[in-house]
Amino acid sequence: MELKKSEQGSNANWAPPPTPTSEPERVDFHPPESETHLRDYWYIILKRRWVILAVFISVLSYTAVKALMRQPVYSATTILQIDRGRINLVQDVMVQDYWSGYDEFYPTQQRVLMSRNLSRRIVKHLRLWEHPHFGGDKTHTADEQTLEDLAEQVAGMLQVTQIRNTQLMELKFTSTEPKVAADLANALARQYMTFSMEKETTLARDTAGFIREQVEKIQVEIQEREQRLQEYSQRQDLMMVDEKELLVMRQLQDLNGAVAVARTARAGAEANYTSLRAADRQTLPAVLANPTVQGLVQQRGVLEGQVAELTAKFKDDWPDLRRAREGLTDIKSRIEIERNVLAVEVVAKARVEYRAAVEREHLLLAEVESQKKEAQELSKLTTNYTQIKAGIDNQRSMLRQLLRRQSETGLSAELFEREPVNVRIVEAALVPKVPTGPRLSRSLLLGSVVGIALALGLALFLDYWETSIYTIEDLRRHVPLPYMGMVPRLDSDTASRWDALAASSMARDTDKHGKNMSQTRSALALSQSTKIASRAKEDMSLIAERFKFLRGSLLLSTPGRPPRTVLVTGPDKNAGKTFVACNLATSLADLDKKVLLIDADLRNPQLHKVFRFKNRVGLSSVLSGQTSIEKGCVFSTLIPNLYVLLAGPASPTPAELLGSTKMEETLEQCIQLFDYVLLDSAPLLPVFDSHILTVRADANLLVVRSGHTSRNAVRQSLELIDRVGGKVTGVILNDVNLADYAQNYYYSYHSYEYGTYGEDTARKVS
């Protein structure tokens, strides 16, 4: 196929839109925040209306069913009039002033009426454990647990309210059995009356009893103490403690004197003894002074004289001299012996004396000690004595006080007995005939309030967790990109690629009537051959409209001049990239411009399937140098002005091929030959093929599929594109469910922006 270079005219034909500024205007997609705040919530509610409705209806029906399933209940009411009793005349009794809290009076009575104590009394009085309504019969007996349970049950049936600004109290019992309700209400009134009467008298009686007890106790104590005091005095032999103490002190003084004397004596004896023990025994004065020894010493002197005389006269062996000498020796030894014996005696005597002195001293010291102890004991006894006496005095004065109060309380008890709290039954309960519940309207109201709260909560929660982009509103809130337009969801019958394409051409046909009939005849024939239902035909014209608008947005999207190379890409597979590329190309071809649609998705090529070609030659062949654009690898299609360059045989290195300079050259070449070049590409996230193309193309369109593509995927794609230096021109929301009210709401709300304006532009452009 030989292609002529496109005439310059095709570009010149394109007139700039009539905007106030000369710059083409982009669709600004960010209205001021404050304005949209409330609308955001409204929008969330619309979007989640099915969830909200489902939750609301389930809660409501649950409460309704619950209410309907409940047995009818009856209420019986007794009205009591409660007067406050007389003010207590005796204010300073030992009990708390009974009527001090005026404001608390009725709330207190209300609480008393609801108390477990009264419920128990009712249970006992009515013998409820035998009552069939409470699951009993005549054979049953009441143990503590049963009583307690029944009392609780009864308390649960009761409602006590004071009628405002009156002395009236309303006792209402609600039960499934009317008679039980009435019986309980009347029983409570009676029990309360007896209870409050008992309470008043017991209170006074309690006080009197308390005082009596105290008096008795104190009397006993006083008695005990007095007895102790008496015993004590007896033990001291009735002697005055003071005198006794004086005596003890004097004795102690004497003893101390004696101790001093004894200590001196002991010191003398000790000195004597030690000196005697140390001295020479032969020269002791006591020994020397002994008459026996002195006699012997005289004899020795006589004998010595004799011996001296005889020695002068006779020879040594003279018998007289010898005798005299023997006598002298004898006397000397006797003196020696005598002295020794005496010395021993003297020392022994001194020792005995010393020992005795020590003994005496010790005895005296012990005596002093014991005397001191006695003195202490005495003083202790004195203190005890005074203490006991003071205690008794104290007790006596307390007793006096108590006795006075006893008489006062006796008086007040009598007063109480005459003036109890005044309770009257104003209206006894009758057996109710009409049930008072369950009130369906109330349950329903409650159910709806709870239902709405739950539903709204859930909707907001879901919105918080939802990550998919569903609506234009989601896109606006979460994707910071210019919005190009949206493509509605097609009927599943219509959604086949062929039908969609046919849709575009058919719409064109209806648009321009006879003008381009010849060009569209084949497309028409095609659509007729596929026997499209009328509903599908509607869809098709809708699709054609939408693409016209998209075309307008696209042509205005780049400043200065419309883009000539357009890359259609998207974060994920099945976003509708091929669908959008085909339809957009068809729509552009409608402008009588030559459009080349290139399948740049080398991994998963689809264009050949759409146009029912065989994928034998295409972009991969051109890029690998096997062929070139001019050499017949571009095919014309059934749609006039629309040409396709298929992907070509699969290549092991699609990313390299697309990133090569050859690709750049090919694109330039295509621009020379065609007015518009559209590239259908591989998804951005799973493979890194088409990212580089975002730098090459004039405009990059990001296709996001409603309910399918996540916010995160969009964010990641933007990051990847940003990394290679590309820029996304705008985002297209595909597969929008227009049957969805929320979408429709938003769509119609903004329709002037996306519909009318776009259409006008598209017409002007064409």
Ligand X SMILES: Nc1ncnc2c1ncn2[C@@H]1O[C@H](COP(=O)(O)OP(=O)(O)O)[C@@H](O)[C@H]1O
Residue ranges that bind ligand X, judged by CB under 6 A? 487, 489-490, 495, 497, 570, 573-579, 606, 734-735
For residue 192, the partner it binds in ligand X, Mg ion, none, with Cβ less than 5 to 8 A by kind, is none
Nearer to ligand X, 466 or 491 (CB): 491
For residue 734, the partner it binds in ligand X, Mg ion, none, with Cβ less than 5 to 8 A by kind, is ligand X
Nearer to Mg ion, 488 or 576 (CB): 576
For residue 576, the partner it binds in Mg ion, ligand X, none, with Cβ less than 5 to 8 A by kind, is ligand X
Q: In this structure, are residues 483 and 472 in contact, taking their beta carbons and an 8 Å threshold?
A: yes
Min dist CB 490 to ligand X, Å, is 4
Min dist CB 684 to ligand X, Å, is 11
For residue 575, the partner it binds in ligand X, Mg ion, none, with Cβ less than 5 to 8 A by kind, is ligand X
Of 438-446, 586-594, 605-613, 633-641: span binding Mg ion (CB under 5 A): 605-613
Q: In this structure, are residues 93 and 408 in contact, taking their beta carbons and an 8 Å threshold?
A: yes
Q: In the 3-class helix/strand/coil scheme, how is 374-428 assigned residue by residue?
A: HHHHHHHHHHHHHHHHHHHHHHHHHHHHHHHHHHHHHHHHHHHHHCCCEEEEEEC
Enter the tokens of residue 365.
Answer: 């010291």
Look at residue 74 and give its three-state secondary structure. Answer: strand
Residue 314: which H helix or E strand, with range? none
Q: CA-CA distance, 456 to 134, in Å (whole number)?
A: 43
The yes or no reply on residue 578 touching Mg ion (CB under 5 A) is yes
Min dist CB 646 to Mg ion, Å, is 13
DSSP 437: B
Nearer to ligand X, 537 or 577 (CB): 577
Nearer to ligand X, 52 or 693 (CB): 693
Among 606, 620, 666, 706, binds Mg ion (CB under 5 A): 606
Min dist CB 487 to ligand X, Å, is 5
The footprint of Mg ion on this chain (CB under 5 A) covers a number of residues equal to: 3
Nearer to Mg ion, 63 or 606 (CB): 606
Look at residue 715 and give its three-state secondary structure. Answer: helix
Min dist CB 574 to ligand X, Å, is 4
Min dist CB 444 to ligand X, Å, is 42
Rounded (to 5) percent helix, strand, coil in the chain: 65, 10, 30
* Residues in 225-244 at the binding interface with Mg ion, rule: CB under 5 A: none
Q: CA-CA distance, 203 to 189, in Å (whole number)?
A: 21
* Residues in 548-567 at the binding interface with Mg ion, rule: CB under 5 A: none
Closest residue (Cβ) to Mg ion?
578
Write the burial class of residue 77 (CB in 10 Å: 0-12 exposed, 13-18 middle, 19+ buried): buried
Beta-carbon neighbour count of residue 431 at 10 Å? 13
Nearer to ligand X, 163 or 533 (CB): 533
Enter the tokens of residue 607.
Answer: 């264009």
For residue 487, the partner it binds in Mg ion, ligand X, none, with Cβ less than 5 to 8 A by kind, is ligand X
Phi, psi of 405 (to 5 degrees): -65, -35
Nearer to ligand X, 296 or 554 (CB): 554
Nearer to ligand X, 436 or 604 (CB): 604
Ordered DSSP codes for 156-201: HHEEEEEPTTSSEEEEEEEESSHHHHHHHHHHHHHHHHHHHHHHHH
For residue 574, the partner it binds in ligand X, Mg ion, none, with Cβ less than 5 to 8 A by kind, is ligand X
Q: CA-CA distance, 369 to 255, in Å (whole number)?
A: 10
Nearer to Mg ion, 93 or 602 (CB): 602
Nearer to ligand X, 266 or 577 (CB): 577
| 54 Cβ contact partners less than 8 Å away, ≥ 6 residues apart | 455
Min dist CB 736 to ligand X, Å, is 7
Nearer to ligand X, 290 or 690 (CB): 690
Q: In the 3-class helix/strand/coil scheme, how is 729-742 assigned residue by residue?
A: CEEEEEEECCCCHH
Q: CA-CA distance, 508 to 513, in Å (whole number)?
A: 8
Give the closest residue to 47 by CA, choosing from 670, 471, 667, 467: 471
Nearer to ligand X, 55 or 584 (CB): 584
Q: In this structure, are residues 450 and 64 in contact, taking their beta carbons and an 8 Å threshold?
A: no
Q: List the beta bridge partners of residue 598.
A: 645, 679
| 565 Cβ contact partners less than 8 Å away, ≥ 6 residues apart | 667, 670, 671, 676, 677, 678, 679, 696, 697, 698, 699
Residue type, position 192, single letter: Y
Q: CA-CA distance, 582 to 642, in Å (whole number)?
A: 10
Nearer to ligand X, 299 or 716 (CB): 716
For residue 708, the partner it binds in Mg ion, ligand X, none, with Cβ less than 5 to 8 A by kind, is none
Q: In this structure, are residues 248 and 374 in contact, taking their beta carbons and an 8 Å threshold?
A: yes
Of 541-549, 603-611, 735-743, 748-756: span binding Mg ion (CB under 5 A): 603-611
Query: Which x/- pattern, by CB under 5 A, does the window 59-88 give for Mg ion?
Result: ------------------------------
Q: At what angle do helices 440-465 and 33-47 cross, to 10 degrees?
A: 120
Q: Which residues of 341-363 are buried (b: 16+ CB within 10 A; e: fewer)?
A: ebbeebbeebbebbeebbebbee
For residue 286, the partner it binds in Mg ion, ligand X, none, with Cβ less than 5 to 8 A by kind, is none
For residue 499, the partner it binds in ligand X, Mg ion, none, with Cβ less than 5 to 8 A by kind, is none
For residue 489, the partner it binds in Mg ion, ligand X, none, with Cβ less than 5 to 8 A by kind, is ligand X
Nearer to ligand X, 26 or 573 (CB): 573
Q: CA-CA distance, 633 to 2, in Å (whole number)?
A: 10
Nearer to Mg ion, 519 or 637 (CB): 637
For residue 342, the partner it binds in Mg ion, ligand X, none, with Cβ less than 5 to 8 A by kind, is none
Min dist CB 561 to ligand X, Å, is 28
Min dist CB 734 to ligand X, Å, is 5
For residue 495, the partner it binds in ligand X, Mg ion, none, with Cβ less than 5 to 8 A by kind, is ligand X
Min dist CB 729 to ligand X, Å, is 17
Min dist CB 595 to ligand X, Å, is 18
For residue 530, the partner it binds in ligand X, Mg ion, none, with Cβ less than 5 to 8 A by kind, is none
Q: List the beta bridge partners of residue 597.
A: 644, 678
For residue 218, the partner it binds in Mg ion, ligand X, none, with Cβ less than 5 to 8 A by kind, is none
Residue type, position 8, single letter: Q
Min dist CB 600 to ligand X, Å, is 11
Min dist CB 579 to ligand X, Å, is 3
Min dist CB 573 to Mg ion, Å, is 8
Min dist CB 576 to ligand X, Å, is 3
Nearer to ligand X, 606 or 651 (CB): 606
For residue 475, the partner it binds in Mg ion, ligand X, none, with Cβ less than 5 to 8 A by kind, is none
Residue 66: which H helix or E strand, with range? helix 49-69
Min dist CB 546 to Mg ion, Å, is 19
For residue 519, the partner it binds in Mg ion, ligand X, none, with Cβ less than 5 to 8 A by kind, is none
| Residue ranges in contact with Mg ion by CB under 5 A | 577-578, 606
